């Protein structure tokens, strides 16, 4: 999927969660994290690769689910879960680097991508929090 830079983050006319920049960035992160975790040792505690992948998938999945929720609080709850999963991924990235499972350049790329996703997700959340909803 190509990321569309010209789409507005909070367009009231978006037809799909796929148009949200936060979701697009999160989806790109999942693909990169899956690629990188393929090389992790099988014997990692609690299978670090599967924990990392689960947390990574949770970010865009919860953005997608929150997108269709009708009430403001319900939307924000799912987006908050995405934020928590994003921080979990940030930790797994740090741990993966500390255990030498990923190269320093990959670590830096992942951290930058997570930070970009975090900023977009936070902006989306602020936009929803400031909108008037009829619950």
Ordered structural domains, the chain, with CATH: 17-130 (1.20.1440.60)
CB-based contact 135:72 (threshold 8 Å): yes
Please report the pLDDT score of residue 15 as a whole number: 84
With a pLDDT cut of 90, the percent of the chain lying above it is 75
Query: What pLDDT, in 10s, does the model give residues 30-71?
Result: 999 999 998 888 766 568 999 999 999 999 999 999 999 988
pTM score: 0.85
Comparing CA positions, the residue from 19, 106, 13, 124 lying closest to residue 1 is 19
For 62-126, the DSSP string reads: HHHHHHH--SHHHHHHHHHHHHHHHHHHHHHHHHHHHTTSS-HHHHHHHHHHHHHHHHHHHHHHH
Please report the pLDDT score of residue 86 as a whole number: 98
Cα 12 to chain centroid, rounded:
22
**What is the distance in angstroms between the CA of the first residue and the CA of the last residue of the chain?**
33
Q: Is 103 left (phi over 0), alpha (psi -120 to 50) or beta?
A: beta
60: tokens are 């865009």
């Amino acid at each position: 999927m190509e990321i569309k830079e010209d789409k507005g983050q909070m367009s009231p006319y978006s037809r799909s969660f796929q148009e949200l920049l936060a979701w697009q960035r999160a989806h790109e992160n999942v693909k990169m994290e899956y690629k990188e975790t393929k090389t992790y040792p099988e014997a990692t505690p609690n299978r670090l690769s599967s924990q990392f992948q689960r947390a990574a998938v949770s970010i865009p999945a919860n953005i997608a689910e929150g997108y269709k929720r009708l009430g403001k609080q319900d939307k924000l709850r799912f987006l908050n879960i995405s934020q928590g999963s994003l921080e979990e991924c940030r930790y797994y990235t740090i741990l993966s680097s500390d255990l030498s499972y990923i190269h320093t350049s990959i670590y830096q790329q992942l951290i930058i991508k997570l930070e970009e996703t975090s900023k977009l997700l936070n902006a989306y959340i602020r936009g929803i929090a400031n909108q008037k909803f009829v619950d």
